[in-house]
Amino acid sequence: MFILVVCTTVSGVSAQSLKNRVKKLLGKDKSELALNASVLPSPYVNIDNKITLADTLDFNAIAEETIFINALSYTIKQGEKGKSNIEALNVSNKSFQVIMQSSLALEDEKASSYTCQLKFLIRSNKLIVCVDSISVVAPTLFGEMKSTAFENLNMQKEKSLQQMQEFTSVYQGFAEGMIEYVAQEKPQSVTHWDEIEAGKVVQGMNETECLLCAGAPKYVRQSGVKTRWMMEGNATIIFEDGKVVSIIR
């Protein structure tokens, strides 16, 4: 069973303990919290003066490398810009960082949309998630769209609290999809980690490695044992029997 807990209790660990653990894992344990966390609505906390969502996704029976591969693959597939959403990737530390934008505004030009930075770290078969740099883009009284960082929201206003709750729902939908993907997907073996970290597709890579390295294809064409991935920028990756044999740019 997989557990989704957002800053409440994880296996008997208090929210304060989880916050301290996340700070330590992210290398920020030397800084003091400057804001009073009690003024924020659950599940938000203050970490280094940033309004933050801290989460732990527990995958007891899944190997850490599989968690890392699947979490990275899912994030690339969900991102509007694919691989270019990934801002930082550290294979040896099993961590990556991404900028994401919600798709709420696609349905209604005047609806709120959200951007945020997500930091992922795998430890002890758990995926630690830290979400910060959260901003909402919403219409003003004059109909103009304005971007506001969560740190600048007025917590005394119902609209601000509604926006924070709406973002919580957006994140939970993302996290639930990731839990399902990590639990069910069976990735191919990954050996070209250096090339993936450098963003360089090379001959011999399999499809999982190409996804992590270059992102998802725009189109896929199958012809016998050959598969063609048409990528952004008109590049084409050609596979034969599941391995890259040619890259056309």
pTM above 0.75, yes or no: yes
Q: How far apart are CA 77 and CA 83, in angstroms?
A: 8
Q: Are 218 and 83 in contact (CB under 8 A)?
A: no
Range of 111-115, 159-163, 241-245 with top mean pLDDT = 241-245
pLDDT tens-digit series, residues 120-161: 999 999 999 999 999 999 888 887 889 999 999 998 899 999
3-state class (DSSP) for residue 119: strand
pLDDT in the model for residue 23 = 52
Q: How far apart are CA 205 and CA 188, in angstroms?
A: 10
Q: How far apart are CA 94 and CA 48, in angstroms?
A: 23
Residues of the chain above pLDDT 70, percent: 79
- CATH architecture, domain defined by 3-184: 2-Layer Sandwich (3.30)
Instruction: Please choose, from the candidates 124, 116, 103, the residue with its C-alpha nearest in 3D space to the C-alpha of residue 10.
Output: 124
In this structure, the number of other CB atoms found within 10 A of the CB of residue 214 comes to 23
Instruction: Please choose, from the candidates 77, 86, 91, the residue with its C-alpha nearest in 3D space to the C-alpha of residue 195.
Output: 91
Q: How far apart are CA 68 and CA 126, in angstroms?
A: 10
Sketch the domain layout of the chain as residue ranges.
3-184, 193-248
Instruction: Please choose, from the candidates 67, 176, 207, 178, the residue with its C-alpha nearest in 3D space to the C-alpha of residue 124.
Output: 67
The continuous run of DSSP H or E covering 212 comes out as helix 207-214
3-state class (DSSP) for residue 152: helix
Question: In terms of C-beta distances under 8 Å and separation of at least 24 residues, what long-range contacts does 228-236 make, across chains too?
Answer: 232/82
Our measurement of the distance from residue 84's CA atom to the centroid of its chain's CA atoms, rounded to an integer in Å, reads: 12
Q: How far apart are CA 116 and CA 123, in angstroms?
A: 23
Q: How far apart are CA 181 and CA 95, in angstroms?
A: 18
Contacts of 28 by beta carbon, 8 Å cutoff, 6+ apart: 47, 48
**Residue 12 pLDDT greater than 50, yes or no:** no
User: Could you give the residue ranges of the DSSP H alpha helices within the chain?
Assistant: 15-25, 64-78, 158-184, 193-198, 207-214
pLDDT tens-digit series, residues 184-218: 999 999 999 999 999 999 999 999 999 999 999 99
In this structure, the number of other CB atoms found within 10 A of the CB of residue 206 comes to 18
Q: Taking the CA atoms of the chain, what radius of gyration do you get in angstroms?
A: 20
Instruction: Please choose, from the candidates 174, 220, 204, 223, the residue with its C-alpha nearest in 3D space to the C-alpha of residue 57.
Output: 174
